[in-house]
Structure 1
């Protein structure tokens, strides 16, 4: 984009749209990141006017910053070019992309660049299948000169040959598992922007079995609407955090959504899980749940709720949906723990399935 701005001439009214999942991502990755516009500009560096959500080059070219969280913000502006980063994890992908198409109306040949990890979301699949789309694929190995020594080898040892490795390392577009409990197109259809009034909200937490950079604490917020359906409100999961830190993330989600209760799995940590949470918020209402059946058997009735149209998502939750669509009878294809999915199952079980014999619940 920097090259496009400079090639437009000494004076220009060139307009560019920069769109990321969030405004923070646009700033941290697209502008200030290692390969961001401001970092690679060796001459005629643009001025970043973050309060106005734009960057301006000395020749008058301008790029405006947008977020997939607010598709309506694309109404009104118009552009010659657009750069869409990590489109496959945009929160409101279809609506944001549609609004962008109406805004690309300047110049003789408006164009857009999409850079993304290739998740098999319907929008990305349509773009790849479009005859007018030019597709370039790069693997992590293609970027080895810019990565730490041993990084690729370590990832290959852990993820080589797995679906996750093929997607994240090889840049392959991996389709849903045939034996998976969920399908991406179905999840897409169940994503809504307007949520009915909620009469109960829970925050479910699946604590990590260990610690370290790769550990993930699954945290999912869901609510029960007045119409009897459930809405998944947020995937607030955190990675590589200490017990105190993930407990703070749980309490933050509880306060942010004004939840009624926290539901915490205690198979891994027992009463220490509740104690850790209450060390952050002494009066936190915690319901401890203990799994008595395997993950797949627990997930099946929740998947049935989706099939019946009784669950909606308030946004796209890329990492959570990746686990949902990659979860089969033998778990995730990578062999890792489905932490985010576990939290989802506990949340929806608490809201929709309590009293059916699973799980065993004890309030503290």
Structure 2
């Protein structure tokens, strides 16, 4: 738990490594520490001071695995005869990330200092007698019996329901030496455990954001970050904030939908007909959902100044149980209807998720000469995809039509209200359908990727690259300034 300082020059390091009197683990510690300090940022270096637990709470891509393996490996080399525990959420992550990954212990500790590496049970023996022993947090009972001087817990928040039990069992193991210590590297989740650990007076807390390591991330990953910058999920995964569960459960709030109260809609520049498909008509959940969106150039009032921006308006929606022949015909007719309404100046895109029943529909339509665009959501969950577009709603870029009801006042039109209600309840337990949510999120993702939405977010993202983490927001996650969005026409 000694504070690290100073990286050696190449000449000085070569002289140290050539010393025949120095043992191999001391040489390895000096080499490893010197290399680490040349690359590490200040927040990645283990702090000095009187603490029992050091928590590095940081965003995705901050470099916490690099930080954890180097600090823990250096400590292992500097403390002969130590017993040191390494905990990771599962057996797979323990091996893949903590021990054998790109920045795993077996890769960053100089090979000449390792006496044995037992891959089958994640254990490294050093020549100085120190043993690093791995445990998956998914199996807390494996921590009954052993004793340790120190431990590294990686991604403790990802262990879910097993995290508390693993933490309790681990603490019973810290009974060697005068001052056992713990290092935790994790991206947060709404979890009482991490709040309790951080609140302890013997915990040293360091908070880091993804943006601090942006230059070391691939360009593709930098671009993907843009989708989450102004979302609750981004506050957690990028800026390492500990949120309440309610912040993440319902990513699209009803109050964020902008109201289109104009008597007419100007010709859209682009229309997206978005399908979330299914054709197993025997089950209630298997309905095809279709939402239709128009990209419009309107005036937006921000801080008292009106300027033109791109927004999108929900033009129509429907949900039906269809067998495949009827689904194919519905997709064809929907496209033809909007081509006829929009005119030649407006491009109409039929967007279909490239999974499940959507793959068959894409093949059939393309074979029939009906162009459609496949949408591949990758490995992102439905909740992640909804979070990725939630900033568009919060910024007032997503409109739905309203009308004046004699009793209820201004309300959304029925077709829009069905979509808004489903989006609002998405994430709640017991909600049977999310078809409109999928159709909506893939349409808005497409419009943003094609440049029809999100220009303000693009500017904010590039400005934030070198900025400090955002200030605390109010309960909706964003600053409520006096901005208004209103359609303007020539």
- What's the TM-score, normalizing by structure 2? 0.39
Q: CA deviation at 1:150?
A: 5.5
1:151-190 alpha-carbon deviations (Å, 9 max, x no partner): 32x1342111211111111122222337957xxxxxxxxx
Q: Deviations over 1:307-348 (max 9, x none)?
A: xxxxxxxxxxxxxxxxxxxx9xx989xx789xxxxxxxxxxx
Q: Which sections of structure 2, spanning at least 5 residues, go unmatched?
A: 1-71, 251-274, 278-282, 291-321, 325-355, 361-417, 444-490
Distance 1:265 1:68, change over 3 A: farther
Shift of 1:146: 2.5
Q: Kindly tell me the number of residue pairs found equivalent between the two proteins.
A: 218
Tell me if the contact between 2:232 and 2:248 (Cα under 8 Å) persists in the aligned partners: no
Alpha-carbon contact 1:44-1:57 (below 8 Å) kept: no
Task: Report the counterpart of residue 141 of structure 1 in structure 2.
Answer: 211
> Structure 1 residue 274: deviation in Å?
7.0
CA distance in 1, matches of 2:189, 2:120: 32
Distance change in 2, residues 1:101/1:143 (3 Å): same
Separation in 1, partners of 2:437, 2:201: 36
Quote the Cα distance in structure 2 between the aligned partners of 1:40 and 1:60. Answer: 18
The yes-or-no answer on 1:120 pairing with 2:190 is: yes
Structure 1 residues 44 and 180, CA, compared in 2 at 3 Å: closer, same or farther?
same
Distance 1:298 1:49, change over 3 A: closer
Give the 3 Å change call, closer, same or farther, for CA 148–58 of structure 1 in structure 2: same
> What per-residue deviation string (whole Å, max 9, x for no partner) do you get for residues 268-287 of structure 1?
5965747999xxxxxxxxxx
Distance 1:263 1:19 in 2: 43
1:83-102 to structure 2, matched below 5 A, reads: 83-91=152-160, 92-102=162-172
2:143 counterpart (55, 66, 74)? 74
- Give the structure 1 partner of residue 99 of structure 2: 31
Partner Cα distance (1:87, 1:144) in 2 = 23
Among 67, 71, 74, the alignment partner of 1:3 is 74
The answer to which of 93-102 and 156-165 deviates more is: 156-165
Contact 2:156–2:184 (Cα < 8 Å) also in 1: yes
CA RMSD of aligned residues (A): 3.9
- Higher-Rg structure is 2
Structure 1 gaps of 5+ residues are 182-207, 211-261, 278-290, 304-326, 338-364
Q: Work out the CA distance in 2 between the residues paired with 1:149 and 1:93.
A: 33
**Matched residue, 2:83:** 15
* TM-score, reference length from structure 1: 0.51
Q: Write the mapping of 1:219-258 to structure 2, written as runs, cut at 5 A.
A: none
Query: Closer, same or farther in 2 for the Cα pair 1:128/1:34, shift >3 Å?
Result: same
> CA offsets per residue over residues 68-117 of structure 1, 9 Å max, x none?
11110000001001111111111401111100000011011101111111
Q: Distance in 2 between matches of 1:180 and 1:62?
A: 42
Equivalent residue of 1:33, what SS? coil
**Partner in structure 1 of residue 288 of structure 2:** 267
